């Protein structure tokens, strides 16, 4: 027998409950935020844990691959996947800005990051953003990080499809000298190979990560914001941070203030 609709739920959440599955767009290639475990197929990382917190609120339990599915979503695909209903929401280090708010609704922020710089461990010529002048620096195509780098005088910005490609380019035939994006992303790559890379720990921006929703979803946005607020209060957000970043040099931050975008 079909369960009667719950009038207290946003229509988007009721539809997800009726289908029995939440589709979350996230990254598969970013250690600590969204990374596919090749051995198990599980998506690990802070963004994935936020998705699981939301699934728990919707269904009362989390069944990987049953009531939550993670869809690989690159930076260039995030808005399209939302507008074409390929995902219900995007949790993928998605920085909130005015340009994006014209096309996407945002819940959150659920984390405040800062753009930083990753270099080879033996590179002592770069210690701050000011040292990037005259250097080749990589960022993901279409990212806010690439746009921010283009504001810096004398920086040659190399745009590749994702940050895994950028890190590989540090060792390439025409190597870049640095990779720049949000500190949480860079920490993941540095932790994966600590003998080869280091993060400057000298951020030069403030990046509010939001949960991307299809444009025109105010009720859904409120539901997600309420879920985030609850996770701040009951400790689930803190557990997600500790689970993913606890073994790094990053300290537990204060949870962000939810804003009404």
Q: 33-58, pLDDT tens digit by residue?
A: 999 999 999 999 999 999 999 999 99
Domain residue limits, the chain: 11-112+209-245, 115-199
Q: Which residues contact 135 (CB under 8 A, 6 or more apart)?
A: 126, 155, 156, 176, 177, 178
Answer whether 11-112+209-245 and 115-199 agree in fold.
yes
Place of tokens 């699981």: 52
pLDDT of residue 174: 84
β-partners of residue 119 are 198
C-alpha to C-alpha distance for 70 and 29, rounded to whole angstroms: 13
pLDDT for res 7: 61
**Using one digit for the tens of pLDDT, what is the confidence trace for 164-181?**
999 999 998 889 999 999
Q: How far is it, in rounded angstroms, from Cα 29 to Cα 21?
A: 23
Please list the rounded mean pLDDT of every run of 10 residues in the chain (261 residues): 60 96 96 94 97 98 94 93 98 94 97 96 96 97 92 95 94 92 93 94 94 96 98 98 89 91 70
Cis peptide preceding 109, ω within 30 of 0: yes
Q: How far is CA 242 from CA 6, 94, 147, 226, in A?
A: 34, 21, 31, 22
The CATH number of the domain covering residues in 115-199 = 3.40.190.10
Where do the H-state alpha helices sit in 60-114? 78-83, 98-101
Superfamily of domain 11-112+209-245: Periplasmic binding protein-like II (3.40.190.10)
Partners of 208 in the β-ladder:
112
Query: Tokens representing 239?
Result: 């557990």
How many CB atoms sit inside 10 A of residue 8's CB?
A: 8
Locate 47 and state its tokens: 């963004």
What's the confidence (pLDDT) of residue 51?
A: 99
């Amino acid at each position: 027998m079909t369960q009667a609709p719950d009038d207290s739920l946003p229509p988007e959440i009721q539809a997800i409950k009726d289908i029995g599955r939440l589709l979350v767009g996230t990254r598969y290639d970013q250690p600590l935020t969204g990374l596919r475990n090749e051995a198990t197929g599980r998506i690990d990382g802070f963004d994935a844990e936020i998705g699981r917190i939301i699934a728990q609120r919707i269904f009362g339990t989390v069944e990987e691959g049953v009531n939550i599915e993670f869809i690989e979503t690159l930076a260039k695909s995030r808005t399209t996947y939302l507008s074409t209903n390929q995902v219900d929401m995007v949790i993928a280090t998605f920085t909130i800005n005015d340009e994006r708010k014209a096309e996407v609704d945002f819940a959150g922020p659920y984390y405040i990051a800062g753009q930083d710089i990753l270099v080879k461990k033996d590179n002592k010529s770069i210690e701050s953003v000011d040292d990037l002048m005259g250097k080749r620096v990589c960022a993901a195509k279409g990212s806010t990080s690439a746009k921010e780098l283009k504001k810096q005088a004398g920086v040659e910005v190399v745009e590749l499809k994702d940050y895994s490609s950028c890190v590989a380019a540090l060792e390439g035939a025409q190597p870049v000298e640095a990779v720049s994006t949000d500190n949480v992303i860079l920490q993941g790559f540095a932790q994966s190979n600590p003998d080869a890379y280091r993060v400057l720990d000298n951020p030069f921006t403030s990046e509010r990560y939001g949960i991307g929703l299809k444009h025109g979803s105010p009720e859904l946005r409120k539901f997600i914001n309420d879920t985030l607020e609850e996770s701040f209060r009951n400790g689930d957000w803190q557990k997600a941070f500790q689970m993913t970043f606890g073994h790094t040099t990053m300290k537990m931050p204060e949870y962000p203030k939810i804003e009404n975008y």
